[in-house]
């Protein structure tokens, strides 16, 4: 018997300026949702003291529907491994799993929209910036273009009807991971989001996209780089031909 409706994994690296507001907003959304939610913050020993701030939030959290836990790993180990470890930890206790960034680009108010699609029976619900009603705010034109082109590129090569392949705000039915093992997901970085969506759709699970407005991070530093784009560019072909 799963205790929580949703388990949310939030990976953090130097998010001290955003994390309290994010957790407060999630708590508010959880109250509106009226379901039990568990958050697991996966912090990679952020030098800016993110973990201390999360501990303070945990101490003063008085929302009985919300449990917040923190895991601190020794050093920066990447987004994909944070998600995989986090999901593996929450899987048996939560009916659904969600990925959410800590920089406030993923607005917690959308939890209700994700949940409504989950209750309609979808196995995977994708937060999409590239369908009607969705958008990116404040990004430079070149970054908007790269993001949109990346999704078109994946859509054509992987021949899958998903409009936002690279976005990280998604919900998964946790039973998906009885079929799909975390060790089968090889990718790091952006490719991780692409690989998750592709493999889950290939396995025949149902999915849909919901529109999200995605504001740029206000605080903290972007980890976006040419290396990330390059990895994803080649990686999509490896995925298609099932190469390691």
Ligand X SMILES: Nc1nc2c(ncn2[C@@H]2O[C@H](COP(=O)(O)OP(=O)(O)OP(=O)(O)O)[C@@H](O)[C@H]2O)c(=O)[nH]1
Are residues 80 and 185 in contact, defined by beta-carbon separation less than 8 angstroms? Answer: yes
Q: Is 125 in the site for ligand X (CB under 6 A)?
A: no
Nearest approach, Cβ of 41 to ligand X (angstroms)?
Answer: 9
Among the residues of 183-225, which ranges form H helices? 189-202
Give the residue from 105, 141, 95, 108 showing the smallest Cα distance to 31.
Answer: 108
Q: Is 15 in the site for Mg ion (CB under 5 A)?
A: no
Which residue in the set 4, 5, 7, 13 belongs to the binding site for ligand X (CB under 6 A)?
13
Going residue by residue from 64 to 103, which x/- string records binding to Mg ion, judged by CB under 5 A?
A: -------------------------------------x-x
Q: Is 105 in the site for Mg ion (CB under 5 A)?
A: yes
Q: How far is CA 126 from CA 46, 95, 167, in A?
A: 28, 17, 8
Site for Mg ion in 195-224 (CB under 5 A): 217
Buried b (16+ CB within 10 A) or exposed e, 212-228: bebeebeebeeeeeeeb
Residue corresponding to tokens 């008085």: 62
Nearest approach, Cβ of 28 to Mg ion (angstroms)?
Answer: 21
- Contact residues for ligand X, defined by CB under 6 A: 11-13, 15, 42-44, 76-79, 82, 101-103, 105, 217, 222-224
- Contact residues for Mg ion, defined by CB under 5 A: 101, 103, 105, 217
């Amino acid at each position: 018997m799963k205790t929580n409706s949703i388990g949310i994994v939030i990976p953090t690296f130097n998010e001290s300026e955003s994390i309290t507001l994010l957790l407060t907003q999630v708590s508010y959304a959880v109250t509106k949702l009226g379901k039990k939610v568990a958050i697991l913050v996966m912090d990679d020993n952020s030098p800016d003291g993110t973990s201390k701030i999360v501990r303070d939030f945990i101490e003063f959290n008085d929302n009985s529907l919300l449990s917040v836990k923190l895991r601190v790993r020794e050093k920066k180990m990447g987004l994909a491994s944070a998600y995989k470890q986090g999901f593996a930890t929450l899987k048996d206790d939560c009916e659904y799993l969600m990925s959410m960034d800590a920089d406030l680009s993923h607005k917690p108010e959308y939890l209700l929209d994700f949940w409504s699609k989950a209750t309609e029976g979808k196995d995977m619900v994708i937060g999409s910036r590239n369908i009607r009603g969705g958008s990116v705010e404040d990004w430079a034109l070149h970054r908007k273009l790269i993001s949109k082109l990346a999704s078109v590129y994946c859509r054509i090569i992987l021949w899958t009807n998903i409009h936002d392949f690279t976005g990280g705000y998604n919900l998964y039915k946790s039973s998906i991971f009885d079929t799909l093992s975390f060790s089968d997901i090889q990718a790091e970085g952006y490719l991780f989001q692409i690989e998750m969506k592709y493999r889950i759709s290939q396995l025949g699970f149902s999915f849909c996209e919901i529109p999200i407005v995605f504001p740029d991070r206000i605080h903290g530093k972007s980890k976006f780089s040419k290396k990330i784009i390059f990895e994803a560019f080649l990686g999509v072909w490896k995925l298609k031909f099932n190469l390691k």
